[in-house]
A and B are shown apart, each in its own frame.
Chain A
Amino acid sequence: MSRMGVFICWCGANIAETVDCEEVARYARDLPGVYIAQSYKYMCSDPGQRIITDAIQEHQLTSVVVASCSPRMHEPTFRKTAATVGLNPYMLEMANIREHCSWVHTDRRDATEKAKDLVRLLVEKVKRNQPLYEIEMPVTQRVMVIGAGIAGIQAALDVAAAGHEVVLVERKPSIGGFMSMLDETFPTLDCSQCILTPRMVEIMQNDKITLRSNAEVEQVNGYVGNFGVKIRQKARSVDLDKCTGCGDCWNNCMAQNRIHEPEREPECSVASPEIAAKVDAIAAKYADEPGGMVVGALQDIQEEFNYLRQDALTYLSRRISVPLSRLFAVARFYGAFSLTPRGRHIIRVCLGTACHLRGGGSIADTISRELGIGDGETTPDEMFTLERVNCLGACALAPLVTIDGRYHGKMTIAKMIHLIEQCQESGDTVAV
């Protein structure tokens, strides 16, 4: 059985001016599980803290809620206070009725109601709290840095300078990362090699750093202070102690003249010349428009290819110099766009108000049931795509379904089932 104490702070006028603290206390007193509740001018002051410690001892409270300022201010204060009289500090929680309530509202009545809500939430939370205890664990004093770009290199050097052992893991045969490909760096135009190369050398010279290049992290387990990491060291058939890094073996390799790295899929699929030509034609249509006409171009692409194929979008993005991320944002925002291929037949069910009232919802459910697809989905055989649309603006025909743009009005469940069957049999759109 929990015996909870709730303490409401006025914070001088900060809280009390907009929140009726006495009323909140009265309210809290009646909450299930709360044993006592009281308010005071400054809970964080010495007398205020004494009110809490006295109450914990006198009433043998098992948990405490302090409703006052942000926990960022005084949570450590109150938890220490509670701990001095033997309450587990994690059995104390704070309700923020200042920053989240009194400071941001003006209406006293509403603010008081909100403060009550906040207190009630925290009361429920504390009920579910369990005492936590701090323990000490031995920590392995070794650090692994994954990735030996400039950031990883500097991190490894800093940790080593602090006296710890470091393992630096890098997937590529050589460390240095992107910075090794740069000429100058922003904004000072410093020579990037002048920054990078001394540090690369330092990595090799530092006794505390073990470098594992051409290696990949396979598995990480354990927890902070005690991780276990499995590294796959790729074969390179070179004795590193004797290797001078001259590169002769690399240059003369009979196999492929390079170290084998696993093939990776290119990040963006590349548009074929035919697709590129079609996108070119679409982009040209909107070339004179200021600012974009992105939406129009995407509509045309969808009409052309039945959906927004990624290769076409990638190509368009470069063609009209609009970031791909923005094209995706637009494509996701508007309901008319589909980023996945659609079926050969597109069934659109109107769910405008008139259609809703005349049973459009049941028609949509029927299609879903018959074809096993939901809104925006396509059947596995790529025959049908179902789209629920807001209003097709032909309410006299409600409930209305269109298949490939052909209108089928005054639809009934029986008619719909029949229509789907006919489409499936003939493999073509059915005229009714």
Chain B
Amino acid sequence: MTEATRLQTPDDLAALRARVVERRSAKKVCVSICAGTGCRAQGSMELLAEFGRQLESAGLDDVELRATGCHGFCERGPLVVIHPRKIFYHSVQMKHVADIIDKTIQHDEVLPALLFRDPKTKQRCEVEGEVPFYAKQQRIVFRHNGIIDPTDIEDYVGADGYVALAKVLAGMTPEQVCDEVEASGLRGRGGGGFPTGKKWQICRNQPGETKYVICNGDEGDPGAFMDRSIMEGDPHAVLEGMTIGAYAIGASKGYLYVRGEYPLAVANLNVAIEQAKTRGLLGDDIFGSGFNFTVEIVRGAGAFVCGEETGLIASIEGDIGTPRQRPPYPAESGLWGKPTNINNVETWTNVPVILERGASWFASIGTEGSKGTKVFSLVGKVNNTGLVEVPMGATLREIVFDIGGGIQKKRKFKAVQTGGPSGGCIPESLLDLPVDFDKLREVGAMMGSGGLIVMDERTCMVDVAKYFLGFLVGESCGRCAPCREGVFQMHRILSRIVEGEGREGDLETLEKLGNYVKASSLCQLGGTAPNPVLSTLRYFRHEYEAHIKEKKCRAGICKELVQFRIDPETCTGCTLCRRDCPTEAITGAKKEPHRIDAAQCIKCGVCYDVCNFGAVEVE
């Protein structure tokens, strides 16, 4: 490693880049292991240590070992890529390490057993790009994720990092930066979809010397983790974006608000900030331009409403994170009463690449009203859970079936939920909908931060609506009555319905109440809280009616309305369900039909899920 010297001019940066690229010559062998949270949880750090040990004892000192950020394909972790051929191994375990070193690294042989096998074509895929999960993606935000080591600034510089910042500071006025971002058509990725360039312009035009920029990394939507991956896997891109934004609006101090549940993101961002300071990319007189900028990390403490910008500001100020009335918008009066610009992690990450490659390049991607790409976290009952980046306008079918590999256990698709607790459920009939900000809003859902939750026939839509409302009841800050009381009452009605106590007229009450809450809540938490109920009522009313009138939950989820039984004709007596039943409610000898004792059954549904023969039925 070269000595960490301050980069005083854009030329210094170019020189460093040249050195890094030369050192990392394309022919060199490198084992790159995913160290994102998903892969870590599946043992990638142990794997990394094992590789280190075995490479050392084999005397292979010149093989580089690199821990990268998240590749997105978390379902198949831990992921290992062997350069220079970029051979892509998934689900690698400790026992495979010796083989990989011996065969692949020393003798350039591919291990077919560790390659991804396309379930459709039965073909083995050697490199990442051939895997169907990646083939349809376009990676702009994720341009470095899974490639660079997030804790090494030289890796980022080697991948053209900080080029955009150098370009901006060397030859663009703040107005030009705002104009460029506005021309690119970038819209806020946090959910609102407000044009980013315009937002900067408004904040820039406010009077006053002191202004702030904030990066909203309080990724609160359950089931969304794209911001986490970016912060963990490419922290410098976030910092570079914020620095450019700060220059454009005239701020010299920035705050990065990171969710408390993301310790690794905090750690990597801290490392990145320290490195950037040492290199002179944060601090005073960046690139000799006279522009000063510093960034501070603030950790969240587990409050969903702090993702709302005014709540987030209150939280940074050290107060309880209750939102306040807007206007005035933060652009006019934000943190400590000063003009403040807040953007989400993904938005900031888009900024450097727009300025590097130009607004027209960015605007050429996507649809009429929504430019660029969007990262979705594809989760739920889908085969390939993971992070997916597609151009705006990709259809849900492409995302769920081509990239996501369809539904688990070949069950039937029911719906996909977007936008987190404030979003809506989209039924099968709308699967060919091109996904962008406006199209989703038309069908009663929203983009939100980009959670895409896939649901199958084993998902009860009433239960889903109740789940989201229960979440929001817990997270409502309690400041305004419509949200505090209205959502609570809606949740009570839904709880009654899933317990089999639904009444005639409940659905009308839900709709009426939902519209009141939407119209009269103080902030967007309450303003969108009824969406999960209203959208499921719109597309899945028959399920609600079955719960109320027939007292049936066809998905087998609502415990009060479900009775499991085993069909003696289909049951092969494999004993699988009997072994997995937590309450020993299932009896039956081997190779004899089993039966469920209703008195002991707690209706957890384990038997239904494990049965390989479809012998367990919902009555």
Instruction: Determine the residue in chain B with the shortest Cβ distance to A298.
Output: B301
Q: Confirm or deny: A333 has a beta carbon within 8 angstroms of a beta carbon on chain B.
A: yes
Flag if A396 contacts B261 (CB, 8 Å). Answer: no
Selected from B223, B320, B386, B582, the residue in CB contact (under 8 A) with A333 is B320
The answer to whether B298 touches A296 (Cβ under 8 A) is yes
Q: B336 contacts A359, CB within 8 Å?
A: no
Contact A333 B606, beta carbon cutoff 8 Å: no
Most-contacted residue by chain A among B40, B224, B468, B582 (CB, 10 A): B582
One of B40, B228, B321, B380 near A353 (C-beta < 8 A): B380
A249 contacts chain B at the CB level, 8 A cutoff: no
Complex Cα gap A292–B42 (Å): 39
Chain A residues within 8 Å of B451, by CB: 353
Residue of A nearest to B453 (CB): A353
CA distance A409 to B37 in the complex (A): 11
Q: Which of A212-220, A262-270, A385-393 lies at the binding interface?
A: A385-393
Q: A306 interface residue, CB < 8 Å from B? A: no
- Minimum C-beta distance from B605 to chain A (A): 7
* A345 CB-CB contact with B under 8 Å: no
Is the C-beta of A394 less than 8 angstroms from some C-beta in chain B?
yes
Alpha-carbon gap, A395 to B261, bound state (A): 14
Q: Are B315 and A362 in contact (CB under 8 A)?
A: no
Q: Which residues in chain A, 381-432, are within 8 Å of chain B measured between CB atoms?
A: 389-398, 400, 405, 407, 409, 412-414, 417
A371 vs B313: C-alpha distance in the bound complex, in angstroms?
39
In residues 274-302 of chain B, which contact A (Cβ within 8 Å)? 296, 298-302
The answer to whether the Cβ of B41 comes within 8 Å of any Cβ in the partner chain is yes
B: number of interface residues (CB 8 Å): 62
Partner of A291 from the list B75, B300, B317, B385 (CB cut-off 8 Å) is B317
- Known interface pairs A296-B299, A357-B459; A389-B261 also in contact (CB < 8 Å): yes
- A398-B379 Cα distance, complex, nearest whole Å: 9
Evaluate contact between B385 and A396: CB separation under 8 angstroms.
yes
User: In the assembled complex, how far is the CB of residue B445 from the closest CB belonging to chain A, in whole angstroms?
Assistant: 14
A294 an interface residue at 8 Å Cβ cutoff? Answer: yes
Q: Which of B108-116, B214-222, B349-357, B487-495 forms part of the interface with chain A?
A: B214-222
Residues of A near B385 (CB, < 8 A) are 354, 395-396, 398
Q: Kindly list chain A residues whose C-beta atoms are within 8 Å of the C-beta of B548.
A: none
Cβ-defined contact, B261 with A391, below 8 A: yes
Q: Find out whether the CB atom of B605 lies under 8 angstroms from the CB atom of A359.
A: yes
CB-defined contacts of A397 to chain B, threshold 8 Å: 38, 41-42, 74
B536 within 8 A of A: no
Shortest Cβ gap from A362 to chain B (Å)? 5
Neighbour of B379 across the interface among A292, A334, A354, A390, CB < 8 A = A354
- Shortest Cβ distance from residue A325 to the other chain B in the assembled complex, whole angstroms: 12
Closest chain B CB from A205 CB (angstroms): 53
| Alpha-carbon distance between A402 and B23 when the two chains are bound, in angstroms | 40
The answer to the question of B225 belonging to the interface, with a C-beta cut-off of 8 Å to chain A, is yes
A291 to B77, CA, bound (A): 43
Any A CB within 8 A of the CB of B194: no
At the interface, yes or no: A32 with Cβ under 8 Å from chain B?
Answer: no
Q: Which residues from 328 to 379 on chain A have a C-beta closer than 8 Å to any C-beta of chain B?
A: 329-330, 333-337, 351-359, 362, 365-366
Are A335 and B38 in contact (CB-based, < 8 A)?
no
CB-CB under 8 A from A294, the residues of chain B are 318-319
Shortest Cβ distance from residue A323 to the other chain B in the assembled complex, whole angstroms: 12
Q: Which residues of B contact A296 (CB under 8 A)?
A: 298-299
Q: Which residue of B lies closest to A405 (CB)?
A: B263
Interface residues of A in 112-130 (CB under 8 A from B): none
With most chain A CB atoms within 10 A of its CB, the pick from B74, B219, B475 is B74
Chain A nearest CB from B36 CB (Å) reads 9
Q: What is the CB-to-nearest-CB distance from B91 to chain A, in angstroms, rounded to a whole number?
A: 12
- The answer for the CA separation of A352 and B380 in the assembled complex, in Å, is 10
A356–B468 CA distance with the chains assembled, in angstroms: 10
- The yes or no answer to A204 lying at the interface (CB within 8 A) is no
Q: Which residues of B contact A293 (CB under 8 A)?
A: 298, 318
User: For residue A245, which residues in chain B have a CB less than 8 angstroms away from its CB?
Assistant: none
Residue among B225, B301, B303, B604 with max Cβ neighbours from chain A (10 Å):
B301
Asked if A14 is an interface residue, CB under 8 A from chain B, the answer is no
Interface pair A295/B580, CB less than 8 Å apart:
no
The CA-CA distance from A396 to B580 in the complex, in Å, is 22
- A335 lies within 8 A of B301 (CB): yes
Cβ A396 vs Cβ B302 within 8 A = no
Which residues of chain A have C-beta atoms less than 8 A from B224's C-beta?
A: 391, 393
B331 → A minimal CB distance (Å): 20
Contact of A392 (CB < 8 Å), options: B74, B261, B319, B322: B261
Interface of chain B residues 468 through 512 with chain A (CB within 8 A):
468, 471, 475, 477
Counting CB contacts under 8 A, is B417 at the interface? Answer: yes
Separation of A131 and B282 alpha carbons in the complex (Å): 78
B304 close to A (CB within 8 Å):
yes
Kindly list chain A residues whose C-beta atoms are within 8 Å of the C-beta of B37: 393-394, 407
Chain A residue numbers with a CB within 8 Å of B263 are 405
- State whether A357 touches B453 (Cβ < 8 A): yes
Q: Does any Cβ of A come within 8 Å of B358's Cβ? A: no
**Residue from B40, B220, B377, B582 within 8 A of A366 (CB atoms):** B582
CA distance A353 to B449 in the complex (A): 14
Q: Which residues from A are CB-within-8-Å of B471?
A: 390
Which of A295, A353, A358, A391 contacts B315, CB < 8 Å? Answer: A295
Q: How far is the CA of A326 from the CA of B42 in the complex (A)?
A: 41
Interface flags, A273-289, vs B, CB<8A=1, else 0: 00000000000000001
- A290: chain B residues at CB < 8 Å are 336
Contacts of B75 in A (CB 8 A): 396
State in angstroms the CA–CA spacing of A397 and B42 once bound together. 9
Please pick, from B222, B299, B579, the residue contacting A391 in the complex, using a CB distance under 8 A. B222
Q: Tell me whether A193 is interfacial, beta carbon within 8 Å.
A: no
Task: Report chain A residues within 8 Å CB of B262.
Answer: 393
Residue of chain A at shortest CB distance from B42: A409
B41 adjacent to A356 (CB under 8 Å): no
> Taking A335-B302, A395-B74 as contacts, is the C-beta distance between A351 and B315 under 8 angstroms?
no
A414 and chain B: residue at smallest CB distance: B580
Contacts of B609 in A (CB 8 A): 359
Q: Is A299 an interface residue, CB under 8 A from the partner?
A: yes
B467 on the A face (CB < 8 A): yes
What chain A residues lie within 8 Å of B606 (beta carbons)?
362, 412-414
Closest to B72 in A: A396
CB of B455 within 8 Å of the partner chain: yes
A413 touches B582 (CB 8 A): yes
Interface string of B313-332 (1 = CB under 8 A from A): 00101111110000000000
Whole-angstrom CA separation of A391 from B583 in the bound complex: 28
- A354–B37 Cα gap in the complex (Å)? 16
B318 with A413: CB separation less than 8 A:
no
The distance in angstroms between the C-alpha atoms of A356 and B466, with both chains bound, is 11
CB contacts (< 8 Å) of A291 on chain B: these are 317-318, 336
Residue interface mask B33-50, A partner, CB < 8 A = 1: 000011011100000000
Query: B202-230 CB contact bits vs A (8 Å, 1 = yes)?
Result: 00000000000000000111111100100
Complex: A289 Cα to B296 Cα, angstroms: 10
Q: When the two chains form their complex, are residues A299 and B260 in contact, meaning their CB atoms are under 8 A apart?
A: yes
Chain A CB within 8 A of B552 CB: no
What is the bound-complex CA distance between A409 and B75, given in angstroms? 11
Let me know if B303 and A353 touch, CB within 8 A: no
Residues of the B chain whose Cβ atoms lie less than 8 Å from the Cβ of A326: 319
Contact yes or no, A390 B304, CB < 8 A: yes
Which residues does chain B contribute within 8 Å of A366, judged by CB atoms?
A: 582
Is B381 on the interface with A (CB-CB < 8 A)?
yes
Contact partners of A353 in chain B: CB under 8 A: 222-223, 379-380, 417, 420, 451, 453, 467-468
Q: Is the CB–CB distance between B303 and A292 below 8 Å? A: no
Interface residues of A in 168-215 (CB under 8 A from B): none
Partner of B317, one of A292, A337, A405: A292
5 smallest A-B Cβ distances: which pairs? A292-B318, A407-B41, A396-B74, A335-B302, A352-B222
Apart from A333-B303, A390-B222, A397-B41, what are 8 other A-B pairs with CB-CB below 8 Å? A290-B336, A291-B317, A293-B318, A333-B322, A334-B320, A353-B468, A389-B261, A412-B580
Q: List 9 A-B contacts (CB under 8 A).
A: A294-B318, A334-B303, A390-B471, A393-B262, A394-B37, A396-B38, A396-B379, A413-B604, A413-B606
